[in-house]
Structure 1
C-alpha cells in the first residue's frame, strides 16, 4: 500500500493534467491521498469504503451530496493494483458528463501504475544482475551458497558452459553525459547500446548482459557444447562487424571487442573475461584491425606467438642474431625479410612490393644468410628469424 501512495503522490500532477475535471484519490481506508484541491488531502471521504466494498462505480448527484460531509458531486470508481482493490478514483462534476471520463481515467491510472511497478522490478533485477556479474568476475573465490542464491533470484542455470564477450566503448558514455547533461537521456542511450549488442549476438534467455562500467559492456553467452562455442566464434568477426556498423549509426565510432575462452561453469568465468580483456589490450597495442578479436583468428595467434615465448628462449635468439642486429644495413635487411615472409618466400612478388630490383632483394637475403648461417629457402629457418625480429 505504501508504494501505491508514493506512486499517486509523485504522479498526481501528470494525472490531473490530462483530466478535464477535478479529481480525487483515496486509499483503502477512505483517506484522501491526492486531490486537485490540495486542502482536501489528508481528510476522510466516507463513501470510498462503500465504493470498494461494492466494487462498482458510484454516482453522487448534487442533491444527494448536499447533506454529506466532504463529498462532492461526480463519479467514484475502484482502483485495482496487482489484482487487488487499493483505492478509489473520483472525478468531480455532473455525473452524466463525468462518467465516460471516469472509466478512461481509471484505466489510465491503473496502466501507469502497472508500468511503474514493472519498471521498478526491471530496475531491481538489473541492479541484482549487475551485482552478480561483478561478483563472479572479480571475487578471488566464489561463495557457492551465494552463487546459488543469485541464480535462484535471477533464474540462471549455473551448470551451462559460458564464455564472455567484452565490448569496450571507451569514453562514449562520458562524452554523451557531458553533451546532454540529462541522466534520463544517458540511461536511454545505455539501453540502446545494450539492446544493440543483444540483438547482433542473438542474446537468449540463458545469456546475461550488462554494463560493467561506463566504458564496457559484457555479454555472457551460454552454450551447450564445445562445438557450438567454436561455431559461434567462427561467426564472431562477422557479427562484430555488424555491431560496429550498428553502433556507428548511433555515433559510436571507437569500439573494441573480444571473445574469451569457454568456461565449464560460473566459477571459471572470470578466466574467460580476463582473456577477452587481454585480447583487446593486445590488439590495440599492436594496431590490429578491425578491433574484433578472438583466438579463433589465426592472425591473432601468429601475432601473439613471439610474446608467448619465455625470456630464456628470447635471450638465446637475441644472442644468436646479435651480429645481424649490429649490421649497418639491418633496417633494410629486416624490412626486406619481413616482406619476403609476407609474400610466402616469393622473391618476385616481394621485390615488386618493395619497389626494388629482384637482384637487390636476392643480395639482401644472401647477406642475411651469410651473417646468420640460415637458409632462407627453408620455412623453419625463416620462422626463427621472423620470431626473433618480432621479439
Structure 2
C-alpha cells in the first residue's frame, strides 16, 4: 500500500506545523500506520475502524474514550483519494479544540498523497517509456512488436506518428560514473521540459549516457530546434554535450533507424549539433559510413605512414586536418583558426602530401584524407 510508504514522513512534517500535537494515520483495517507516538504503531484503533466502515468522521470526547479501544480523545477523518477512502487521519485533543486543525491536517494529507501518486505515475510512465525505447532500438521488431504496442497503449504513446530521434550525449562521464550521469540527465530533463522542448506528442527516455527524445517535428523546424537545445544546455549546465538528430519515420522500424543515425552523427560531431537533413551533414554521415572492413586496408596503410617515432599521429598533422575539414577546405579560414600564416598552412599541406601522397586540391584525394581523419578519430576513441 502506497500510504504506508510515506505515512510516517507526513506525520512528522504535519506535527511540526501544529506544535507537535499528536497525529495518527490509520489503514483500511483500523491499524495505526504512523504516529507521533511510536509505541502505538501497528496497534488497533477502533475509532479509525468505524470511520472506514461508515465513511464518516468520528469525534471522540474524553468521556467516550472507553468505547473506542486503542483510541484517545480527538477527531478522526477519512482520507479520500480519487473518490475512495484509503485510510484515516486522527488528531489528538478535545474535539471542540482540534476540529478545525483536524480538517486542515486531513486536507494537507490528501494533497500530499495526491502529489505522491502523481509523482509515482510520472515515474511509472518514464519506466514504461524506457522499456519501450529499449525494445524499439535494441530488439528485433518482429520479435517484440506485441510487447511494444502493449507498452505504448499503457503509456498513451501513438507510435504511428512521424518522429525522429534527438539524441543527447554527455561527454564528461565514464561508464563508472553512473550516479553522476543519472543526476546530470535529470537536470537535462528539467531544462528540456521547462523550456517546452518536449511536447505531448513526444516521448523520451534515458539509456546509458544517452538522453533520447522521439520528436514529432516539422522538417523546417529541425535545425532551429537542436540549436536552441544546445544553447539552453550550454547556458544552464556545465557538461559537454553532443546532439544528433536522425531522419523522421512513421513506422516501428524507423525508430531504430533514426536512433542509429543520430548516434552516428554524435560520433562524428564536436560541439555543433548535427541534423541529418542538412546536406553537409549527409555528406559527413555517408563518408563516415565508408569506415568499414572493406575500407580499412587502404586507410590503415595511410594511417601507418603518418605515425612518428613514438608510434603516434603528429599533433600538427591531426590539428591541420581537423581544422581544414571543419572549415570546408577554406585555407584562409583554416589558417586563421590555427593561428598560423597561410604560407605555413600551405607548407603543412605539402608535407601531408609528401607523407601520404594525397593532394588536398584533388577531390578524390581529399575524400581519402577525410576518411583518414575519421579513422584517426576512431582509433583515439578506442584507446
Does the Cα contact within 8 Å between 1:200 and 1:242 map onto a contact in 2? Answer: no
Q: 1:94 to 1:219 in 2, by over 3 A?
A: same
Contact 1:162 1:266 in 2 (8 A): no
Q: Show the counterpart of 1:140.
A: 140
5+ residue gaps, structure 1: 179-185, 284-288, 318-324, 326-330
Return the TM-score normalized by structure 2.
Answer: 0.71
Separation in structure 1 between the aligned mates of residue 78 and residue 293 of structure 2, nearest angstrom = 78
Give the greater-gyration-radius structure (CA): 1
Distance 2:9 2:222 in 1: 49
Number of matched pairs: 337
2:222 aligns with: 233
Q: Kindly state the Cα deviation for residue 201 of structure 1 after the two structures are TM-superposed.
A: 6.9
Aligned pair in 2 of structure 1 residues 264, 76: CA closer, same or farther (>3 Å)? Answer: closer
Q: How many angstroms apart in 2 are the aligned matches of 1:36 and 1:341?
A: 71
| Cα distance in 1 for residues equivalent to 2:293 and 2:45 | 84
On the 8 A contact 2:73/2:93 being kept in 1, the answer is yes
RMSD of aligned alpha carbons = 4.3
- Corresponding residue for residue 211 of structure 2: 217
Q: CA deviation at 1:189?
A: 4.8
Match of 2:237 in 1: 250
Offset at residue 45 of structure 1 (A): 2.9
CA 299–354 in structure 1, closer or farther in 2 if over 3 Å, else same: farther
| Aligned counterparts of 1:53 and 1:314: Cα–Cα separation in 2 | 77
Residue 10 of structure 1 and its aligned partner are, at CA, apart by 6.0
CA distance in 2, matches of 1:62, 1:237: 67
1:386 counterpart residue number: 366
Please give the alpha-carbon distance, in whole angstroms, between the structure 2 residues aligned to 1:77 and 1:176: 45
Q: Which moved more, 1:50-59 or 1:93-102?
A: 50-59
**What CA distance in whole angstroms lies between the structure 1 residues aligned with 2:285 and 2:149?**
38
Instruction: State the TM-score, normalized to the length of structure 1.
Output: 0.70
Summarize the alignment of residues 1-391 of structure 1 with structure 2, pairs less than 5 Å apart: 2-8=1-7, 11-20=10-19, 21-52=21-52, 55-65=55-65, 69-142=69-142, 143-172=144-173, 177=179, 189-198=184-193, 202-213=197-208, 215-223=209-217, 228=218, 230-236=219-225, 238-246=227-235, 249-252=236-239, 254-283=240-269, 289-303=270-284, 342-343=329-330, 354-356=341-343, 382-391=362-371
**For structure 1, which segment, 203-212 or 76-85, has the greater mean C-alpha deviation from structure 2 after superposition?**
76-85
More displaced, 106-115 or 41-50?
41-50
Deviations 1:43-82 (A, max 9, x none): 3333334434554443322233356543322222222123
Contact 1:75/1:95, CA 8 A, preserved across alignment:
yes
